[in-house]
Amino acid sequence: MKLTRFSIKPLHRMTRALAAVAMGREAPDLVITGARVLSTYTERIHDNREIWIKGGRIAAVKAAGSFRGTSGKPGAKSPASHYDARGGILAPGLVDPHIHIESAMMTACAYAEAALLNGTTTIFCDSHEIGNVCDTAGIEWMLADARQAPLSIFLTVPSTVPATNPRLETAGGDLTPKKIGRLFDRWPEAVALGEKMDFVPVAMGDRRSHAVLAEALKRGRPVCGHIYGREFVAAGAASGITDTHEAIDRDIADDFLEAGVWVFLRGGPPTTPWHSLPEAIKTVTELGANPKRVCVCTDDRDADDLFLFGMDWVARQAVAAGMPPVTAWSMGSLHPATRYAKDGDIGGLGHGRRADIVLLNDALEVQNTWFGGELVVENKKITRILDAALSKRYKYPKPAYNTVRLPAGKIRLTPGLPEAPVTAHVIRAALPGIVLFHDRLRLEPAPGETWADLFRRHDLCFVTVVERHGKNGGVAHGLLRAFGLRDGAVASSVGHDAHNIIIAGTGEADMRLALATLKKLRGGVCVVRGGKVIASVALPVAGLLSDKRATAVAKESAALKKAWAAAGCALPYMGFNLIPLSVIPEIRITDKGLVLVPEMKIVPLFEKT
């Protein structure tokens, strides 16, 4: 059986059959009985229920033991399958309203494995990462991948490619308003406009930014937001933005809700910059806001973290933060479905809805997952039908494997050091790592002190960005403070959002080896120490994605992170990848140089004192 969202017939083709099953004239395909049922519609848990399923959809929810056969034609068949839930909780599959598949370093087909293990049956993804590298073609490759995946995947069309003015960075893609309009018109799963990252230009009335907004608004599509700073909330909402995942505290979350903006509470591993839920949820728990327009989401996940910190974990974090369990689960299912006007199909266990169902224990831990009525996870392990589907992954075309095009000739990866005292514009890292701080640091070696000694005294290392799209060969040098790298180098072709190569290191030789390694891998991430590659993950698809199964990518990611920590890196890998993201304060580095945010001004590394 083909196991995709498209394998389930639309409701208008199923109504007669579903009515016949609901009335007992025909037998269901599957009865799941002996369960408690979590209703996201009324936020109650009902005891002793069973669910009748036909053609991948829910025909009825009845009292346990109701099905005893049919009252229709003599000899009518009994259900093909009968499953005893043994008192567990049946709940709707989770709906992640905002994720980036590329952050997990795997394809959409591979991503499905971890998602379904965590009870997530539908995702709304923003593929602006591959769009920044491969333009419209990359997004359409991802959509073709998503169509083959055993998961319901919708697209929020990337809205900000490139993320900043070409004067400030070089990207591989350029999604104009016209291209965005064509994506909406060509792909029915393109249901919304993705996060509008250039929130400052939106607030300032930039013509291109608002032309992009217009492509969604005139088609009646919702617009997703990305706003830092309470001063930008009103202008963003007035421009048509109706959701955000960037509410980092109670007060800005409250501002968003009062402005009519849905709030997606982002839950991430506590050691990463993606765990703003505990603070932002206080708009509900402390200020008394109604959670009806509040969802939970994951946003970004490393490959190994995807298995450990899925949407089910985020829902449990909402419970830990004070939400009732049923409300928390609704925030991860019905609420996101309602936000995208998909609640007639997903998000609840109503009659006629898709049979995307999870079996939970009392701690809201996923035991089983049914996707369109097919049991794909049982006892926390994937079933044969899912394993077979995951083995037939989409194959990306050859151009997707040829996106690391480095400048010709030898590239200098460290700056020339000044002979006289200077003031340096330094990037200072600080956990959680989203905001990077701008230090103006006077550099002057003490008598008898080498530059290496001075760097150690100030906790400095080099940071370099190399343009990798084959456009202009740009190379920019900077200094990174409090990153903690003791020796060697780390490098990644996942440098948000233009995805040029970013390298941090203590010396030219190891930085050069790191760059050569990424070129050989056709993209990826690596750790180099003492002239040796200690760990690496190959990401040959657009320099962003592995073409392996999720479990293999997760194993490689875990080994990489172990080597990353051993090298002393204070920022996690994903935080390191944000160093070139020149829409987040205070200072960033792109292939064009050091960028002061929000002034959007390039400054030199060294200035005379």
Q: Alpha-carbon distance 420 to 51, whole Å?
A: 77
| Angle subtended at Cα 393 by Cα 388 and Cα 399, rounded to the nearest 5 degrees | 170
What is the Cα 352 distance to its own chain's centre? 30
426 and 326 within one domain: no
448 and 305 within one domain: no
348 within a domain of the structure (yes/no): no
Q: Alpha-carbon distance 312 to 332, whole Å?
A: 8
430 and 321 within one domain: no
Q: What is the pLDDT of residue 84?
A: 96
278 within a domain of the structure (yes/no): yes
Domain housing 277 = 94-330
Exposure of 438 in the CB half-sphere (CA atoms within 13 A): 19
574 and 468 within one domain: yes
426 and 320 within one domain: no
209 and 99 within one domain: yes
- Last residue of one domain, picked from the residues 330, 350, 385: 330
Q: What is the pLDDT of residue 77?
A: 52
- Last residue of one domain, picked from the residues 301, 330, 359: 330
9 within a domain of the structure (yes/no): no
With a pLDDT cut of 90, the percent of the chain lying above it is 85
Burial class of 419 by CB neighbour count within 10 A (0 to 12, 13 to 18, 19+): exposed
Closest CA relative to residue 107, chosen from 540, 577, 576, 535: 540
300 within a domain of the structure (yes/no): yes
243 and 104 within one domain: yes
570 within a domain of the structure (yes/no): yes
290 within a domain of the structure (yes/no): yes
545 and 426 within one domain: yes
272 and 166 within one domain: yes
Which pairing describes strands 94-99 and 120-125: parallel, antiparallel, or unpaired? Answer: parallel
109 and 228 within one domain: yes
Question: Measuring CA to CA, how many Å separate 108 from each of 105, 115, 148, 152, 340?
Answer: 10, 10, 8, 10, 20
310 and 448 within one domain: no
Q: What is the CATH number of the domain that holds 144?
A: 3.20.20.140
Report, as ranges of residue numbers, the positions in the chain whose pLDDT lies below 50: 71-76
Given a contact cutoff of 8 angstroms between Cβ atoms, the answer to whether 581 and 496 are in contact is yes
316 and 207 within one domain: yes
Q: What is the pLDDT of residue 74?
A: 41
pLDDT tens figures, 480-522: 999 999 999 999 999 998 999 999 999 999 999 999 999 999 9
Q: What is the pLDDT of residue 432?
A: 74
- Last residue of one domain, picked from the residues 330, 365, 400: 330
Closest CA relative to residue 311, chosen from 340, 287, 335, 341: 335
Please give the model's pTM, rounded to 2 decimal places.
0.93
How many separate domains does the chain show? 2
35 within a domain of the structure (yes/no): no
Question: Measuring CA to CA, how many Å separate 492 from each of 420, 444, 461, 523, 577?
Answer: 33, 31, 16, 8, 7
54 within a domain of the structure (yes/no): no
What is the Cα 478 distance to its own chain's centre? 28
Q: Alpha-carbon distance 332 to 69, whole Å?
A: 35
